[in-house]
Structure 1
Amino acid sequence: MREVFHHELDQLADGLIGMTELVGQAIDDATRALLEADLQLAESVIAADAQVDAAQAELDERAIELLARQAPVATDLRVVVAALRMSSSIERMGDLARHVAQQTRLRFPRSVVPESLAPTFEKMGQTAQRLSGEAGDLIRTRDLAAAAKLESDDDLLDQLHRQVFTRMMAADWTEPAETTVDVTLLSRFYERFGDHAVSVARRVVFLVTGDYSGSTLGE
Protein backbone atom coordinates (compact mmCIF):
# COMPACT_ATOMS: atom_id res chain seq x y z
CA MET A 1 0.00 0.00 0.00
CA ARG A 2 2.85 2.41 0.85
CA GLU A 3 4.47 1.68 -2.50
CA VAL A 4 1.26 2.68 -4.25
CA PHE A 5 1.06 5.87 -2.19
CA HIS A 6 4.63 6.88 -2.97
CA HIS A 7 4.03 6.14 -6.63
CA GLU A 8 1.12 8.59 -6.47
CA LEU A 9 3.40 11.17 -4.87
CA ASP A 10 5.86 10.66 -7.73
CA GLN A 11 3.01 11.27 -10.15
CA LEU A 12 2.35 14.61 -8.47
CA ALA A 13 5.98 15.57 -9.05
CA ASP A 14 5.76 14.45 -12.68
CA GLY A 15 2.67 16.60 -13.12
CA LEU A 16 4.45 19.64 -11.71
CA ILE A 17 7.44 19.06 -13.98
CA GLY A 18 5.11 18.84 -16.96
CA MET A 19 3.58 22.17 -15.96
CA THR A 20 7.02 23.83 -15.83
CA GLU A 21 7.68 22.59 -19.35
CA LEU A 22 4.41 24.09 -20.56
CA VAL A 23 5.05 27.50 -19.02
CA GLY A 24 8.66 27.50 -20.22
CA GLN A 25 7.46 27.02 -23.77
CA ALA A 26 4.76 29.63 -23.24
CA ILE A 27 7.15 32.37 -22.11
CA ASP A 28 9.54 31.55 -24.94
CA ASP A 29 6.77 31.75 -27.54
CA ALA A 30 5.28 34.85 -25.93
CA THR A 31 8.65 36.61 -26.08
CA ARG A 32 9.14 35.74 -29.74
CA ALA A 33 5.62 36.94 -30.51
CA LEU A 34 6.31 40.16 -28.63
CA LEU A 35 9.57 40.97 -30.38
CA GLU A 36 8.38 39.95 -33.83
CA ALA A 37 4.82 41.32 -33.53
CA ASP A 38 3.62 37.82 -34.46
CA LEU A 39 -0.13 37.78 -33.89
CA GLN A 40 -0.59 34.11 -34.77
CA LEU A 41 2.04 33.02 -32.25
CA ALA A 42 0.57 35.31 -29.61
CA GLU A 43 -2.86 33.79 -30.15
CA SER A 44 -1.41 30.29 -29.77
CA VAL A 45 0.14 31.24 -26.42
CA ILE A 46 -3.16 32.66 -25.20
CA ALA A 47 -5.06 29.54 -26.26
CA ALA A 48 -2.45 27.16 -24.81
CA ASP A 49 -2.82 28.65 -21.32
CA ALA A 50 -5.98 26.56 -20.94
CA GLN A 51 -3.73 23.49 -21.00
CA VAL A 52 -1.77 24.81 -18.02
CA ASP A 53 -5.01 25.55 -16.16
CA ALA A 54 -6.30 22.05 -16.86
CA ALA A 55 -3.03 20.50 -15.67
CA GLN A 56 -3.24 22.46 -12.43
CA ALA A 57 -6.86 21.44 -11.85
CA GLU A 58 -6.04 17.77 -12.40
CA LEU A 59 -2.99 17.88 -10.15
CA ASP A 60 -4.83 19.69 -7.36
CA GLU A 61 -7.68 17.21 -7.54
CA ARG A 62 -5.25 14.30 -7.16
CA ALA A 63 -3.46 16.01 -4.27
CA ILE A 64 -6.69 16.67 -2.39
CA GLU A 65 -7.78 13.09 -2.97
CA LEU A 66 -4.50 11.88 -1.49
CA LEU A 67 -5.00 14.07 1.56
CA ALA A 68 -8.49 12.67 2.10
CA ARG A 69 -7.66 9.05 1.37
CA GLN A 70 -4.20 8.64 2.89
CA ALA A 71 -4.16 11.29 5.67
CA PRO A 72 -0.38 11.67 5.22
CA VAL A 73 1.87 12.96 8.01
CA ALA A 74 5.37 14.39 8.34
CA THR A 75 7.35 14.44 5.06
CA ASP A 76 4.55 12.88 3.03
CA LEU A 77 2.19 15.63 4.14
CA ARG A 78 4.76 18.26 3.19
CA VAL A 79 5.01 16.75 -0.29
CA VAL A 80 1.27 17.00 -0.91
CA VAL A 81 0.89 20.48 0.56
CA ALA A 82 3.95 21.74 -1.33
CA ALA A 83 2.59 20.27 -4.58
CA LEU A 84 -0.62 22.26 -4.14
CA ARG A 85 1.35 25.45 -3.54
CA MET A 86 3.75 24.86 -6.41
CA SER A 87 0.98 24.13 -8.89
CA SER A 88 -0.52 27.52 -8.05
CA SER A 89 2.80 29.31 -8.63
CA ILE A 90 3.44 27.50 -11.90
CA GLU A 91 -0.09 28.20 -13.12
CA ARG A 92 0.52 31.87 -12.38
CA MET A 93 3.69 31.73 -14.49
CA GLY A 94 1.51 30.53 -17.36
CA ASP A 95 -0.87 33.43 -16.78
CA LEU A 96 2.02 35.90 -16.98
CA ALA A 97 3.20 34.41 -20.28
CA ARG A 98 -0.37 34.82 -21.51
CA HIS A 99 -0.36 38.46 -20.40
CA VAL A 100 2.75 39.09 -22.51
CA ALA A 101 1.02 37.54 -25.51
CA GLN A 102 -2.14 39.56 -24.89
CA GLN A 103 -0.11 42.76 -24.94
CA THR A 104 1.24 41.74 -28.34
CA ARG A 105 -2.31 41.13 -29.58
CA LEU A 106 -3.54 44.41 -28.16
CA ARG A 107 -1.01 46.52 -30.08
CA PHE A 108 -0.83 44.48 -33.28
CA PRO A 109 0.37 45.28 -35.93
CA ARG A 110 2.57 47.77 -34.07
CA SER A 111 5.54 46.36 -32.20
CA VAL A 112 5.06 46.91 -28.47
CA VAL A 113 8.73 47.07 -27.48
CA PRO A 114 10.90 49.93 -28.83
CA GLU A 115 13.99 48.87 -30.71
CA SER A 116 16.25 50.21 -27.96
CA LEU A 117 14.74 47.78 -25.45
CA ALA A 118 14.36 44.73 -27.69
CA PRO A 119 17.70 43.15 -26.59
CA THR A 120 16.74 43.59 -22.93
CA PHE A 121 13.38 41.90 -23.39
CA GLU A 122 14.99 39.13 -25.40
CA LYS A 123 17.30 38.46 -22.43
CA MET A 124 14.35 38.61 -20.06
CA GLY A 125 12.54 35.97 -22.09
CA GLN A 126 15.61 33.73 -22.21
CA THR A 127 16.14 34.07 -18.48
CA ALA A 128 12.50 33.38 -17.69
CA GLN A 129 12.53 30.25 -19.83
CA ARG A 130 15.71 29.07 -18.11
CA LEU A 131 14.12 29.60 -14.70
CA SER A 132 11.20 27.40 -15.78
CA GLY A 133 13.58 24.61 -16.71
CA GLU A 134 15.51 25.00 -13.47
CA ALA A 135 12.26 24.82 -11.49
CA GLY A 136 11.36 21.55 -13.19
CA ASP A 137 14.81 20.08 -12.58
CA LEU A 138 14.62 21.19 -8.96
CA ILE A 139 11.29 19.44 -8.41
CA ARG A 140 12.89 16.30 -9.81
CA THR A 141 16.16 16.42 -7.82
CA ARG A 142 15.30 18.37 -4.63
CA ASP A 143 18.84 19.71 -4.76
CA LEU A 144 19.30 22.60 -2.30
CA ALA A 145 22.31 23.91 -4.22
CA ALA A 146 20.17 24.07 -7.36
CA ALA A 147 17.51 25.94 -5.38
CA ALA A 148 20.08 28.57 -4.42
CA LYS A 149 21.25 28.81 -8.05
CA LEU A 150 17.69 29.39 -9.24
CA GLU A 151 17.29 32.35 -6.92
CA SER A 152 20.67 33.68 -8.03
CA ASP A 153 19.57 33.41 -11.66
CA ASP A 154 16.39 35.28 -10.79
CA ASP A 155 18.63 38.17 -9.70
CA LEU A 156 19.51 38.61 -13.38
CA LEU A 157 15.84 38.99 -14.24
CA ASP A 158 15.49 41.60 -11.50
CA GLN A 159 18.52 43.42 -12.88
CA LEU A 160 17.03 43.45 -16.38
CA HIS A 161 13.77 44.74 -14.90
CA ARG A 162 15.68 47.65 -13.37
CA GLN A 163 17.45 48.31 -16.67
CA VAL A 164 14.09 48.80 -18.35
CA PHE A 165 13.15 51.49 -15.86
CA THR A 166 16.57 53.12 -16.13
CA ARG A 167 16.11 53.35 -19.89
CA MET A 168 12.62 54.84 -19.59
CA MET A 169 13.85 57.48 -17.15
CA ALA A 170 16.71 58.58 -19.41
CA ALA A 171 16.62 62.07 -20.87
CA ASP A 172 16.51 60.74 -24.43
CA TRP A 173 13.43 58.54 -23.83
CA THR A 174 10.90 60.02 -26.26
CA GLU A 175 8.42 57.17 -26.62
CA PRO A 176 4.72 58.04 -26.19
CA ALA A 177 2.93 57.48 -22.88
CA GLU A 178 1.16 54.39 -24.26
CA THR A 179 4.48 52.70 -24.99
CA THR A 180 5.84 53.64 -21.59
CA VAL A 181 2.84 52.03 -19.90
CA ASP A 182 3.09 48.92 -22.09
CA VAL A 183 6.79 48.47 -21.40
CA THR A 184 6.26 48.98 -17.67
CA LEU A 185 3.61 46.27 -17.61
CA LEU A 186 5.64 43.85 -19.70
CA SER A 187 8.75 44.24 -17.59
CA ARG A 188 6.68 43.60 -14.49
CA PHE A 189 5.20 40.42 -16.04
CA TYR A 190 8.69 38.96 -16.54
CA GLU A 191 9.83 40.03 -13.08
CA ARG A 192 6.82 38.36 -11.48
CA PHE A 193 7.37 35.23 -13.59
CA GLY A 194 10.78 34.93 -11.94
CA ASP A 195 9.32 35.54 -8.49
CA HIS A 196 6.97 32.59 -8.91
CA ALA A 197 9.87 30.37 -10.00
CA VAL A 198 11.65 31.37 -6.78
CA SER A 199 8.50 30.48 -4.87
CA VAL A 200 8.70 26.98 -6.34
CA ALA A 201 12.34 26.76 -5.23
CA ARG A 202 11.42 27.74 -1.70
CA ARG A 203 8.71 25.09 -1.62
CA VAL A 204 11.33 22.50 -2.54
CA VAL A 205 13.50 23.77 0.32
CA PHE A 206 10.46 23.34 2.54
CA LEU A 207 10.11 19.76 1.33
CA VAL A 208 13.70 18.94 2.15
CA THR A 209 14.15 20.89 5.38
CA GLY A 210 10.68 21.62 6.72
CA ASP A 211 11.59 25.32 6.69
CA TYR A 212 9.84 27.82 4.41
CA SER A 213 11.69 30.92 5.59
CA GLY A 214 13.75 30.84 2.40
CA SER A 215 16.89 31.36 4.48
CA THR A 216 18.56 28.33 2.90
CA LEU A 217 18.51 30.03 -0.48
CA GLY A 218 21.37 32.26 -1.36
CA GLU A 219 23.64 31.12 1.47
Structure 2
Amino acid sequence: MREAYHVELEELAGKLADMSAQAATAMERATKALLEADLALAEQVIGDDSKIDDARAQCEEEAYALLALQAPVATDLRTVLAVIHAAESLERMGDLALHVAKAARRRHPANALPEPVQPYFAEMGEAVVRLARRTQEVIKSKDVEAARSLEADDDQVDEIHRHLFSVIMAKDWEFGVPAAVDVTLLGRFYERYADHAVSVAKRMVFVATGKMPGYGSDEDI
Protein backbone atom coordinates (compact mmCIF):
# COMPACT_ATOMS: atom_id res chain seq x y z
CA MET A 1 0.00 0.00 0.00
CA ARG A 2 2.77 2.44 0.96
CA GLU A 3 4.74 1.51 -2.15
CA ALA A 4 1.75 2.39 -4.34
CA TYR A 5 1.43 5.67 -2.44
CA HIS A 6 5.03 6.63 -3.20
CA VAL A 7 4.52 5.72 -6.84
CA GLU A 8 1.60 8.17 -6.85
CA LEU A 9 3.85 10.85 -5.36
CA GLU A 10 6.45 10.30 -8.08
CA GLU A 11 3.79 10.43 -10.78
CA LEU A 12 2.48 13.67 -9.32
CA ALA A 13 5.97 15.20 -9.46
CA GLY A 14 6.27 13.99 -13.03
CA LYS A 15 3.06 15.75 -14.00
CA LEU A 16 4.38 18.93 -12.41
CA ALA A 17 7.57 18.63 -14.46
CA ASP A 18 5.44 18.18 -17.57
CA MET A 19 3.62 21.41 -16.71
CA SER A 20 6.94 23.23 -16.59
CA ALA A 21 7.79 21.84 -20.02
CA GLN A 22 4.42 23.03 -21.34
CA ALA A 23 4.98 26.51 -19.89
CA ALA A 24 8.44 26.64 -21.48
CA THR A 25 7.10 25.65 -24.89
CA ALA A 26 4.28 28.18 -24.60
CA MET A 27 6.66 31.06 -23.91
CA GLU A 28 9.12 29.92 -26.55
CA ARG A 29 6.35 29.98 -29.16
CA ALA A 30 4.83 33.19 -27.83
CA THR A 31 8.19 34.96 -28.06
CA LYS A 32 8.69 33.78 -31.63
CA ALA A 33 5.17 34.96 -32.49
CA LEU A 34 5.90 38.32 -30.88
CA LEU A 35 9.21 38.88 -32.64
CA GLU A 36 8.07 37.64 -36.05
CA ALA A 37 4.43 38.83 -35.97
CA ASP A 38 3.45 35.20 -36.54
CA LEU A 39 -0.33 35.07 -36.15
CA ALA A 40 -0.66 31.30 -36.59
CA LEU A 41 1.87 30.64 -33.84
CA ALA A 42 0.19 33.16 -31.54
CA GLU A 43 -3.14 31.41 -32.09
CA GLN A 44 -1.52 28.07 -31.26
CA VAL A 45 -0.28 29.39 -27.91
CA ILE A 46 -3.70 30.85 -27.15
CA GLY A 47 -5.47 27.61 -28.04
CA ASP A 48 -3.07 25.44 -26.02
CA ASP A 49 -3.39 27.46 -22.81
CA SER A 50 -6.35 25.40 -21.62
CA LYS A 51 -4.08 22.32 -21.53
CA ILE A 52 -1.92 23.96 -18.85
CA ASP A 53 -5.04 24.98 -16.93
CA ASP A 54 -6.32 21.40 -17.07
CA ALA A 55 -2.94 20.07 -15.92
CA ARG A 56 -3.03 22.34 -12.89
CA ALA A 57 -6.53 21.18 -12.00
CA GLN A 58 -5.46 17.55 -12.28
CA CYS A 59 -2.34 18.06 -10.15
CA GLU A 60 -4.31 19.84 -7.46
CA GLU A 61 -7.07 17.22 -7.46
CA GLU A 62 -4.58 14.39 -7.04
CA ALA A 63 -2.61 16.28 -4.40
CA TYR A 64 -5.71 16.95 -2.30
CA ALA A 65 -6.72 13.30 -2.66
CA LEU A 66 -3.36 12.22 -1.29
CA LEU A 67 -3.73 14.64 1.61
CA ALA A 68 -7.16 13.26 2.45
CA LEU A 69 -6.45 9.58 1.98
CA GLN A 70 -2.81 9.16 3.03
CA ALA A 71 -2.28 11.90 5.66
CA PRO A 72 1.36 12.38 4.57
CA VAL A 73 4.01 13.68 6.96
CA ALA A 74 7.57 15.07 6.72
CA THR A 75 9.02 14.98 3.19
CA ASP A 76 5.88 13.45 1.70
CA LEU A 77 3.74 16.23 3.11
CA ARG A 78 6.16 18.86 1.82
CA THR A 79 6.01 17.25 -1.63
CA VAL A 80 2.22 17.38 -1.77
CA LEU A 81 2.08 20.98 -0.55
CA ALA A 82 4.83 21.99 -2.97
CA VAL A 83 2.88 20.49 -5.86
CA ILE A 84 -0.21 22.53 -4.97
CA HIS A 85 1.73 25.81 -4.80
CA ALA A 86 3.99 25.06 -7.76
CA ALA A 87 1.09 24.06 -10.01
CA GLU A 88 -0.42 27.49 -9.43
CA SER A 89 2.85 29.22 -10.38
CA LEU A 90 3.25 27.08 -13.48
CA GLU A 91 -0.29 27.85 -14.59
CA ARG A 92 0.46 31.56 -14.18
CA MET A 93 3.57 31.10 -16.33
CA GLY A 94 1.29 29.68 -19.00
CA ASP A 95 -1.03 32.65 -18.60
CA LEU A 96 1.87 35.06 -19.04
CA ALA A 97 2.87 33.32 -22.27
CA LEU A 98 -0.78 33.65 -23.29
CA HIS A 99 -0.64 37.42 -22.67
CA VAL A 100 2.44 37.68 -24.89
CA ALA A 101 0.73 35.73 -27.65
CA LYS A 102 -2.38 37.91 -27.38
CA ALA A 103 -0.23 41.04 -27.71
CA ALA A 104 1.27 39.61 -30.90
CA ARG A 105 -2.21 38.84 -32.23
CA ARG A 106 -3.60 42.24 -31.25
CA ARG A 107 -0.96 44.14 -33.25
CA HIS A 108 -0.90 41.79 -36.25
CA PRO A 109 0.01 42.30 -39.06
CA ALA A 110 2.27 44.94 -37.51
CA ASN A 111 4.95 43.90 -35.06
CA ALA A 112 3.99 44.69 -31.46
CA LEU A 113 7.56 45.75 -30.69
CA PRO A 114 9.58 48.59 -32.24
CA GLU A 115 12.72 47.23 -33.86
CA PRO A 116 15.20 48.75 -31.34
CA VAL A 117 13.73 46.80 -28.40
CA GLN A 118 13.31 43.47 -30.18
CA PRO A 119 16.80 42.18 -29.23
CA TYR A 120 15.99 42.76 -25.55
CA PHE A 121 12.87 40.64 -25.80
CA ALA A 122 14.70 37.96 -27.74
CA GLU A 123 17.23 37.80 -24.90
CA MET A 124 14.55 37.77 -22.21
CA GLY A 125 12.65 35.08 -24.09
CA GLU A 126 15.70 32.84 -24.23
CA ALA A 127 16.41 33.42 -20.53
CA VAL A 128 12.89 32.66 -19.27
CA VAL A 129 12.50 29.57 -21.45
CA ARG A 130 15.86 28.36 -20.12
CA LEU A 131 14.56 28.98 -16.59
CA ALA A 132 11.44 26.93 -17.22
CA ARG A 133 13.43 24.06 -18.75
CA ARG A 134 15.83 24.05 -15.82
CA THR A 135 12.91 24.20 -13.41
CA GLN A 136 11.54 21.08 -15.09
CA GLU A 137 14.81 19.28 -14.31
CA VAL A 138 14.87 20.58 -10.73
CA ILE A 139 11.36 19.20 -10.16
CA LYS A 140 12.58 15.79 -11.29
CA SER A 141 15.88 15.81 -9.41
CA LYS A 142 15.11 18.01 -6.39
CA ASP A 143 18.72 19.16 -6.74
CA VAL A 144 19.15 22.04 -4.29
CA GLU A 145 22.23 23.52 -5.95
CA ALA A 146 20.63 23.36 -9.38
CA ALA A 147 17.58 25.14 -7.98
CA ARG A 148 19.71 27.88 -6.49
CA SER A 149 21.59 28.36 -9.75
CA LEU A 150 18.40 29.64 -11.39
CA GLU A 151 18.98 32.99 -9.73
CA ALA A 152 21.49 34.07 -12.40
CA ASP A 153 18.95 33.80 -15.22
CA ASP A 154 16.34 35.56 -13.09
CA ASP A 155 18.78 38.41 -12.42
CA GLN A 156 19.45 38.70 -16.16
CA VAL A 157 15.73 39.11 -16.87
CA ASP A 158 15.37 41.67 -14.06
CA GLU A 159 18.29 43.68 -15.44
CA ILE A 160 16.84 43.78 -18.97
CA HIS A 161 13.41 44.64 -17.60
CA ARG A 162 14.85 47.61 -15.71
CA HIS A 163 16.82 48.75 -18.74
CA LEU A 164 13.68 48.84 -20.89
CA PHE A 165 12.36 51.71 -18.77
CA SER A 166 15.39 53.83 -19.63
CA VAL A 167 14.90 53.00 -23.32
CA ILE A 168 11.27 54.10 -23.49
CA MET A 169 11.94 57.19 -21.34
CA ALA A 170 14.88 58.36 -23.46
CA LYS A 171 14.57 61.60 -25.42
CA ASP A 172 15.15 59.79 -28.70
CA TRP A 173 12.18 57.43 -28.21
CA GLU A 174 10.21 58.04 -31.39
CA PHE A 175 7.54 55.36 -31.29
CA GLY A 176 4.91 57.06 -29.19
CA VAL A 177 2.95 56.24 -26.07
CA PRO A 178 1.08 53.11 -27.31
CA ALA A 179 4.36 51.39 -28.18
CA ALA A 180 5.85 52.41 -24.83
CA VAL A 181 2.84 50.90 -23.05
CA ASP A 182 3.22 47.66 -25.02
CA VAL A 183 6.91 47.44 -24.15
CA THR A 184 6.20 48.11 -20.48
CA LEU A 185 3.47 45.47 -20.23
CA LEU A 186 5.37 42.86 -22.20
CA GLY A 187 8.52 43.40 -20.18
CA ARG A 188 6.49 42.87 -17.02
CA PHE A 189 5.11 39.59 -18.37
CA TYR A 190 8.61 38.21 -18.87
CA GLU A 191 9.80 39.47 -15.49
CA ARG A 192 6.87 37.83 -13.69
CA TYR A 193 7.33 34.60 -15.65
CA ALA A 194 10.91 34.38 -14.40
CA ASP A 195 9.80 35.09 -10.83
CA HIS A 196 7.29 32.25 -10.95
CA ALA A 197 9.93 29.84 -12.26
CA VAL A 198 12.17 30.75 -9.33
CA SER A 199 9.21 30.32 -6.99
CA VAL A 200 8.73 26.75 -8.23
CA ALA A 201 12.44 26.03 -7.74
CA LYS A 202 12.18 27.34 -4.19
CA ARG A 203 9.38 24.88 -3.53
CA MET A 204 11.64 22.04 -4.60
CA VAL A 205 14.35 23.24 -2.20
CA PHE A 206 11.67 23.26 0.49
CA VAL A 207 10.81 19.63 -0.33
CA ALA A 208 14.46 18.58 -0.08
CA THR A 209 15.50 20.60 2.99
CA GLY A 210 12.36 21.60 4.86
CA LYS A 211 13.40 25.25 4.57
CA MET A 212 12.34 27.92 2.11
CA PRO A 213 15.43 29.62 0.60
CA GLY A 214 15.70 33.38 0.71
CA TYR A 215 17.20 34.06 -2.73
CA GLY A 216 15.41 35.69 -5.64
CA SER A 217 11.87 37.06 -5.52
CA ASP A 218 9.67 36.20 -2.57
CA GLU A 219 6.48 37.11 -4.36
CA ASP A 220 3.76 34.46 -4.60
CA ILE A 221 5.52 32.20 -2.09
TM-score exceeds 0.5: yes
Could you list the runs of 4 or more consecutive aligned residues of structure 1 that deviate by over 4 angstroms after TM superposition?
none
Q: CA deviation at 1:166?
A: 1.6
**Quick check: 2:151–2:215 contact (8 Å CA) kept in 1?**
no
Aligned CA distance change for structure 1 residues 118 and 216 (closer, same or farther; 3 Å): closer
Structure 2 counterparts to residues 35-50 of structure 1, below 5 A:
35-50=35-50
| Structure 1 equivalent of residue 21 of structure 2 | 21
Query: 1:200 aligned to 2:193?
Result: no
Query: 1:78 aligned to 2:95?
Result: no
Structure 1, residues 71-117: CA drift from partner, whole Å, max 9, x if none?
11111111100000000000000000000000111111111111001
Q: CA deviation at 1:63?
A: 0.6
Q: CA deviation at 1:217?
A: 7.0
- Output the amino acid matched with 2:133: G
| Structure 2 equivalent of residue 90 of structure 1 | 90
Structure 2 counterparts to residues 13-162 of structure 1, below 5 A:
13-162=13-162
Name the SS of the counterpart of 2:149 in structure 1: helix
Q: CA deviation at 1:215?
A: 2.7
**Quick check: 2:128–2:153 contact (8 Å CA) kept in 1?**
no
Calculate the aligned-residue CA RMSD, in Å. 1.3
Whole-angstrom CA distance in 1 between matches of 2:97 and 2:157: 15
- Output the amino acid matched with 1:215: G
Whole-angstrom CA distance in 1 between matches of 2:215 and 2:161: 25
**Quick check: 2:124–2:160 contact (8 Å CA) kept in 1?**
yes
Whole-angstrom CA distance in 2 between matches of 1:181 and 1:34: 15
Whole-angstrom CA distance in 1 between matches of 2:92 and 2:168: 27
TM-score (norm 2): 0.95
Structure 1, residues 115-169: CA drift from partner, whole Å, max 9, x if none?
0011110011111100000110101111111111112211011111112112112
Gap runs ≥5 in structure 1: none
Gap runs ≥5 in structure 2: none
**Quick check: 1:46–1:101 contact (8 Å CA) kept in 2?**
yes
Whole-angstrom CA distance in 2 between matches of 1:217 and 1:44: 32
Structure 2 counterparts to residues 161-200 of structure 1, below 5 A:
161-200=161-200
